[in-house]
Structure formats: C-alpha cells, structure tokens
Amino acid sequence: MPSMKAAVLHGINDIRVEEIEMPSIKSDDEVLIRIRAVGICGSDIHYYREGRIGRFVVTKPHILGHECAGEIVEVGKAVKHLKPGDKVAIEPGVGCRRCKYCHEGRYNLCPDETFMGTPPTGGAFTEYVVWSGDFVYKLPEEVPYEAGALCEPLAVALHAINMSDMKPAATVAVLGCGPIGLALIQAALASGAARVIATDIYPLRLDKAKELGASEVFNAKEVDAVQAILDATGGEGADVVFEAAGSVTAQRQSFSVVKSGGVIVLVGMTAETVTEVPLLDLITREYQVRGILRYANSYPQAVAFTILGKVNLLPIVTHRFPLDSIVEALEVSDTRKDESIKVMIKMD
Ligand SMILES: [Zn+2]
Ligand SMILES: [Zn+2]
C-alpha cells in the first residue's frame, strides 16, 4: 500500500505528523489531488484545543484542514473538466444531493453534508485527498496555490454578501477584521460597495483592512466604535453590517450601526448561544438580522474574482509553515493574534 504524510489529531492538543495509507479514487466522479497549500481556520483551532465544535466531536484519529488548493493527480472516468497536472481550488462542503435543501441549492443546510476536515470526513493537512470532481475548480497556472486556498474564506464572504442583498454603491460596515472580515472588505468592494468602514482591536488587522480597501478603520479599543461609524455616516448608519468578530459586543454594536431599513448579517459564531436583540428598535426601524452558515454556490464567484484579480487576499497571509511544523502553525494562529492573520501550511 502506498503511504503519505498526514497531520493526525489524536486528542486535545495532540496532533502528530505520521505516515498513513494513501487514498484512492473509488467512484468515476472523483479526483485525486496532491495538496499544495492549506490555510489554518479558527475551526481547526477549536478541534485542536477542545476536540469538538458543537455536535461535531473528534472520537477517532482525525485529519483537520479544509481551506485548500492543490494539483490534480488522477481523475475518475466521468470527470471531464479536469486532467492530471491541473492546478485547482477545492470546495470543502458537498451536500447529499438528495434532500430538499440540496434540491433548493442550499446544500450548506443539508443535514448530511460532507465537510472536509469535519468529523467523520478527513481533511487536507495531508499530502493527498480524494474529492468529488464537481466541487473542484480549475485555476490558471499564474494563480498561486495560496490564492486558491484563500477562495475558502472568500466564499464565506461572498455568501454573506449574497445573503445581505447588498445594492451597488452601498455603505458597508465590517465589524471584526480577521481573515473573514478582511475577505468581506474586498468581496464587498468587488461586488459594488461604494465604501467599507471596518473595526477591530488589533492594529495589524486594521492596517490590513486599509491596505485591502477599507475607507475608514476604527480601533474599537481606543474609540467608541458605534459612535465612530455613526459619525462617519452622518448619523445614519451603514446599509449593510457584517458582524465578523464572533463576539457578543460586536453583535450588539451591529444593531446600533445599521441604517433604518438596512441588513445585518451575522457571520461570526459566538460561544454564547443567546444574545439580546432590541426587538422594538428592529421593528420600528425595519432592519433585518440574518445568519449564514459557510456557503452555497459562492465558490465559483470566489474562484472568478480570484482569477480576474478583483480580489487579492494574499496580503492576509502572515505566516507559512511546512506540514511538519503543524503544531507551531496552530500555536501561532491561536495565540499570536496581534501579529498573525492567516497562517498557511505549504507543501512544495
Ligand atoms: Zn474555514
Ligand atoms: Zn442534502
């Protein structure tokens, strides 16, 4: 049996790089991919530190990682759009294709969705992965593997924008400039926003927000973020507010900085399951609050914006590590938020 290197999570804070059996194509619509770049996501950190996220619990040795790009090694007989040697971005969430959510195109809500790196499905912190060919997108040779991997957070941002019904020339507020918030800034501008106002508490992230096109950035530790956004919008608030900090504080702020008639999209997840919503304010100002889960149908948009160069998230990559240094990579991503944004595992 041919073997490959993989970073295997054995328990809380216990991840080891070891040799495991190489996967092989089992059905005609699958492809075998050599992984070249994988981003570390907040969800990987949760599994590493806590062994679970909600109902998803790591009970057996498990491989994390889902923000990935690679090179096609082999394709099943039914795969026509890819060939060995192609550079590809991989959409990690595949619906069951049979339930009503899948039929409605909302496969992110499929109760039987297979998501790469989410138990029981193995992830991409390994050398080779087998995946459904129709969830694999060809990239031109000049697009770096890292940019392909960054299509994943970009797909989250584009799904949030699709769900917001944002209009051209909108004023947008992005609360929280982690990888998703930063992706939202560029995705909103590429999708026609006139102006993006961003908040965070880390100077590095605010600098990146400016670099990626935010017109105004505010440090929520130094100024009253709500007042700053209201002042910047003539007291009106933003047409669309994206909460991307995953904090109750930012959720509360979003109710205060949305324009009457505007839309709030809650992108971040909080440990708290209940937050007070000022319902009378919501009713009388006719604003809406929407949730999103990952994405559906936005990967092709993410790939297209990346190929066209309308979005370039490469500046958010602050650290790069080989697979052998996965523990250090996870530690940096988790504990050095002041100096790291997106940490990438590179396999050359
Ligand atoms: Zn992710
Ligand atoms: Zn389904």
Instruction: Please state the rounded mean pLDDT for residues 233-242.
Output: 98
Instruction: Please state the rounded mean pLDDT for residues 270-285.
Output: 92
Alpha helical stretches, state H, the chain: 42-50, 100-103, 145-149, 151-164, 179-190, 203-211, 225-232, 248-257, 279-285, 299-308, 326-335
In the chain, CATH 3.90.180.10 covers 3-150+313-346
283: nearest Cα among 261, 254, 259: 261
Q: Give the pLDDT of residue 270.
A: 87
Distance CA 317, CA 145 (A): 12
Region of poorest pLDDT, from 5-19, 49-63, 296-310 = 49-63
**Confidence band of 178 (pLDDT split at 50, 70, 90):** very high
In the chain, CATH 3.40.50.720 covers 154-291
Bridge partners, 18 (sequence order): 6
Instruction: Please state the rounded mean pLDDT for residues 137-148.
Output: 98
Instruction: Please state the rounded mean pLDDT for residues 236-256.
Output: 97
> In this structure, what are the phi and psi dihedrals at residue 152, rounded to the nearest 5 degrees?
-70, -60
> In this structure, what are the phi and psi dihedrals at residue 9, rounded to the nearest 5 degrees?
-85, 115
Bridge partners, 314 (sequence order): none
Say if residue 272's pLDDT is above 90. no
Q: Could you say which ligand is closest to the alpha carbon of residue 179?
A: 1
Q: Give the pLDDT of residue 53.
A: 85
Q: Could you say which ligand is closest to the alpha carbon of residue 157?
A: 1
What is the token pair recorded at 78? 């039914």
| Fold (CATH) for 154-291 | Rossmann fold (3.40.50)
CATH class, domain 3-150+313-346, is alpha beta
Q: Give the pLDDT of residue 1.
A: 79
What is the token pair recorded at 177? 């400039």
Q: What angle do CA 222, 226, 231 make, to 5 degrees?
A: 95
What is the token pair recorded at 94? 């595949």
Other CB atoms within a 10 A radius of the CB of residue 249 amount to 15
Region of poorest pLDDT, from 1-5, 159-163, 230-234, 254-258 = 1-5
The Å distance, Cα 34 to ligand 2 centre, comes to 27
* Reported pTM: 0.97
Distance CA 83, CA 138 (A): 9
The Å distance, Cα 142 to ligand 1 centre, comes to 24
Distance CA 241, CA 226 (A): 12
Terminal-residue alpha carbon distance, the chain: 23
Distance CA 324, CA 147 (A): 22
Q: Could you say which ligand is closest to the alpha carbon of residue 99?
A: 2
Q: What is the pLDDT of residues 42-99, one digit of tens each?
A: 999 999 999 988 788 888 999 999 999 999 999 999 999 999 999 999 999 999 999 9
